[in-house]
Amino acid sequence: MTSNFKRIKPSIIFTPSDESQIQAAIHCSKKHDLQIRIRGGGHDYEGLSYISETPFVIIDLRNLRSISIDTEDKTAWIQAGATLGEVYYRIAEKSKTLAFVGGVCPTVGVGGHFSGGGYGMMSRKFGTAADNIIDAKLIDANGLIHDRESMGEDLFWAIRGGGGTSFGLIISWKVKLLNIPEKVTVFNVTRTLEQNATQLVYKWQYIAHKVDDSLLLRLFLRSSQSPFRPGQRTVYAFFTTLFLGGVDELLPEMQKSFPELGLVKEDCIEMTWIKSILFFAGFPSGTPIELLPIYWKFTTNQTEFFKGKSDYVQRPISIDGLEGIWKLFNQVGENAAELQFSPYGGELSDFSESETPFPHRDGNIFMIHYSVNWEKMESSEKHLSWIRKLYQYMASYVSKSPRAAYFNYRDLDLGVNNKGNTSHAQARIWVEEKVMVHKDTEIVVTNQIGGLGNENLGANEEIQNLRQQMIKMHRAWANGLSSPSFFADNLKYFSSLPPVSHAQFPIFVDTTQYASGSTPGQEYPNTSNVHFLTPQHKTTTCSAPPTIHVFAEAPPPEAPNFEVYPPVVAPHSASEPVLNISSDQYYAPVPTFKSVGPYGYTHPPEFHPNTEKPVMTEEKEEMTKKLRSLKLAMKNLQGLGGYRSVSYKDLCMFPGVNLSLGFKMPKFEKYDGHGDPMVHLRRYCSQLRGVGGKEKLPMAYFGESLSGLASE
């Protein structure tokens, strides 16, 4: 924890046991002009639930930890004071084939974890925790209790990834439980630099987001003593994995996508899902699952210091970039620092950026979590300087404009509010420039705890009119009706704009054609990929439109191939077939040595598979792809259509529209209140026209029905 707040002790720490007591606490805090801090289970990286610079009270939800499971309806109501360990255990008590997606640490509190997103080992299959929330109970600043219906869809949208305490005090969540197999497979394979770890990490970046959705290959990186070079340090790469299925299904998938790792059956362990929670939390083999709901009681007196940060990666880090990280590892103590690479793709990419406030969707390969630990207060500056140096070094390898961060990995280095009030306008500029926490979280939600007044929300008539126009446009598009007149009236304008060559393109604006002292870019306020060839101009109007030069982006790089050594793999038993191994594909295992896993424990193999499970056939794979394609198409038909991408297959249904294979519809950036909303809409429509090279494409997009694809 690294915050610099002046430590004012809370006036009172209040631990309510029911909702009515929270309502009374809110009333009293307003009467005595005290701020409210909400503690929903702990684990806030910066400890913001119990620090303040103004008089405050803490409402500690530790007594509100009820969990109600409905196995028939496959839902659960979970109070905000419960921990993830309790949730997982109570679900497993009721069913062996139901689960919920969330983080790996059992002591994390549900209240904050769910409201900030909630990534976990099943996220490539089921998305985040927030993606699976279907209702909630919230108490507002007036002490009124709301469910999804009474709070409204805007507020319900905001609390699922936008941080719950910004809008009210969430007391419970209703979640959708998820179907899982009775057995899952886990493994933790360790490689060092002497075992080609650098090349393996490099290759991992190309495949981890593309493998089967049921497979999540997480990667942990640490620096410690080398087992091969006494007295010298090396980097350990821990490939820590969950597969929702049996080992006989996992091995062919790994051989196809990541043969260089050299995974063998002996590395894998089959177990129940609830036991995998213990495995990934670092508990020794044989730990009883009954520890999960009570483990939080034994972790409240830890005194170690910690700092965490996060990043998102959209293109693989180069070999040189990785080796730079290894050098920085040597500047901090052994095992003091760790990097987690958490893969994205799968279900995480199926949601549009605006579907929830959690914006880290398609286009992200993986998330990085940086952490450093130390024991003595006097070592704080040294370790904080180190992690900030690492974060600065990584700037050229991670997302930009903005540099994204995960809400649940709280990091006050990114910025804090003013002392006193911070206006909505000021906070908005910070969000857009500093960190990607979805812009749409500024929806109009008034009179919530810690919320903003009406005067700061920018809910002007222009935005409301645009919203109504967008709704009319979507209804016409989804029902096969003619386009609204306000759209058709401007078709001539769309047709007059120059075409572009690719959906995902950088735009280079020649600013020499602007009037002297003018500001480039006012025509492109929401377009993140516009690059101006001259950086400095004064603010005035343009006397002539600029020239737009468009270049197709280079195709994504292919997964690398590198030479490794052929292994010698003996069969596990006389009845077990020898794996088919190509001499130019696999890395030879080196002499075995004991090494701790990413959470501090060794996980020896303890399961010998004796059952056969069917391998996915080509027919089943094709059917799975078709069902997923249909699922995506149906998502495109929901809500305001302009908020989502439309696929190549969708647009090829329209007569006379010919698109190149691999076409992807440019995403629509929601109007943010700056400039003329119709100019914003026209610019997007010109992109639609340009990517297909057809003047009629915008009308087809908004004026035709996609019912044919749904029927398929």
Per DSSP, the residues of 656-674 read T----TT-BPPPPPPP-SS
Q: What is the mean pLDDT of residues 312-324?
A: 97
pLDDT band at 454 (very low <50, low <70, confident <90, very high): very low
Q: Give residue 99's Cα distance to chain centre.
A: 20
Q: Return the minimum-mean-pLDDT range out of 311-315, 411-415, 630-634.
A: 630-634
Residue 673's alpha-carbon distances to 280, 467, 634, 660, in angstroms, are 45, 11, 29, 34
Name the token pair of 461: 């008539």
pLDDT at 337 over 50: yes
308: which strand partners? 371
Same domain for 204 and 310, yes or no, is yes
| Residue 506, CB-side half-sphere exposure with 13 Å CA sphere | 8
| Same-domain check for residues 203 and 231 | yes
**Do 193 and 174 share a domain, yes or no?**
no
The DSSP output letter for 555 is P
At 535, list the tokens: 């950086």
Whether residue 67 has pLDDT greater than 50: yes
My answer on whether omega of the bond before 402 falls inside 30° of 0, hence cis, is: yes
Domain final position from 124, 152, 179: 179
pLDDT for 25:
95
Q: Which run of H or of E encompasses 84?
A: helix 84-94
The number of beta carbons lying within 10 Å of the beta carbon of residue 230 is 7
Within this chain, do residues 318 and 228 fall inside the same structural domain, yes or no?
yes
For residue 111, the 8-state DSSP code is: H
Instruction: Tell me, yes or no, whether 59 and 82 share the same domain.
Output: yes
Burial 562-601 (b: 16+ CB within 10 A, else e): eebeebebeeeeeeeeeeebeeeebbebeeeeeebbbbee
Higher pLDDT, 112 or 522: 112
Residue 37 lies in a domain: yes
Q: For residues 460 and 67, what is the distance between their CA atoms, to the nearest angstrom?
A: 42
What range does the domain containing 156 cover? 12-179
* Whether residue 268 has pLDDT greater than 50: yes
Between the alpha carbon of residue 440 and those of residues 67, 157, 161, 357, 604, the distances in Å are: 31, 10, 11, 7, 47
Confidence of residue 160 (pLDDT cuts 50, 70, 90): very high
Does the structure show a pLDDT above 60 at 543?
no
In a domain, 453, yes or no: no
Residue 167: partners with Cβ closer than 8 Å, 6 or more residues away: 138, 155, 158, 159, 445, 448, 449, 450, 451
The pLDDT of residue 158 is above 60: yes
Rounded to whole angstroms, how far apart are CA atoms 216 and 253? 12
The alpha carbon dihedral of 690, 696, 699, 703 has a sign of negative
Q: Are 509 and 530 in contact (CB under 8 A)?
A: yes
Q: What is the pLDDT of residue 355?
A: 87
Q: Is residue 48 part of a domain?
A: yes
Backbone angles phi, psi at 185, to 5 degrees: -120, 135
Q: Tell me how far the alpha carbon of residue 105 is from its chain's centroid.
A: 17
Residue 314: give its domain's CATH number: 3.40.462.20
Residue with tokens 């139901």: 98
8 Å CB contact between 65 and 79: yes
| Domain end call among 370, 395, 414 | 414
Contact yes or no for 666/362 (Cβ under 8 A): no
586 annotated active-site: no
Q: Is residue 242 part of a domain?
A: yes
Give a yes or no: residue 437 inside a domain.
Answer: no
pLDDT band at 701 (very low <50, low <70, confident <90, very high): very low
8 Å CB contact between 351 and 127: yes
For residue 6, the model assigns a pLDDT of 59
Select the more confidently predicted residue: 323 or 658. 323
156 and 244 inside one domain = no
pLDDT of residue 301 exceeding 90, the answer is no
Distance of CA 407 to the CA centre of its chain: 9
Give the pLDDT confidence score for residue 564 in this predicted structure.
41
Q: Which of 119, 370, 397, 409 is catalytic?
A: 409
**Is 132 part of a structural domain of the chain?**
yes
Determine the length of the chain.
712
Tens-digit pLDDT profile for residues 76-105: 999 999 999 999 999 999 999 999 999 999
Verify that 110 and 209 share a domain, yes or no: no
Contacts of 429 (CB under 8 A, 6+ apart): none
Shared-domain flag, residues 224 and 153:
no
122 neighbors 276 (Cβ within 8 angstroms): no
pLDDT class of 131 with cuts at 50, 70, 90: very high
Q: Cα(578)–Cα(477) distance, rounded to whole angstroms?
A: 57
Radius of gyration of the chain (CA): 27
% the chain with pLDDT above 90 = 50
pLDDT > 70 fraction of the chain, expressed in percent and rounded: 57
- Residue 255 and residue 364 in one domain: yes
Last residue of one domain, picked from the residues 351, 386, 414: 414
Q: Which CATH number do you get for residue 56?
A: 3.30.465.10
pLDDT at 282: 93
Same domain assignment for residues 191 and 309: yes
The answer to whether position 444 is within a domain reads: no
Query: Do 100 and 232 fall into the same domain?
Result: no
Are 687 and 646 in contact by the 8 Å Cβ rule? The answer is: no
Q: Do 250 and 339 belong to one domain?
A: yes
pLDDT tier for residue 114 given thresholds of 50, 70 and 90: very high
| Nearest Cα to Cα of residue 111 among 70, 62, 183 | 62
Give the per-residue pLDDT at 354: 84
Determine the average pLDDT of the residues in 203-230: 97
Distance CA 267, CA 606 (A): 9
Number of domains in the chain: 2
Question: Which DSSP letter does residue 514 get?
Answer: S
3-state secondary structure of 311: strand
> Does 638 map to a domain?
no
In this predicted structure, the answer to whether residue 541 has a pLDDT above a threshold of 90 is no
When pLDDT is cut at 50, 70 and 90, the band that residue 420 belongs to is: low
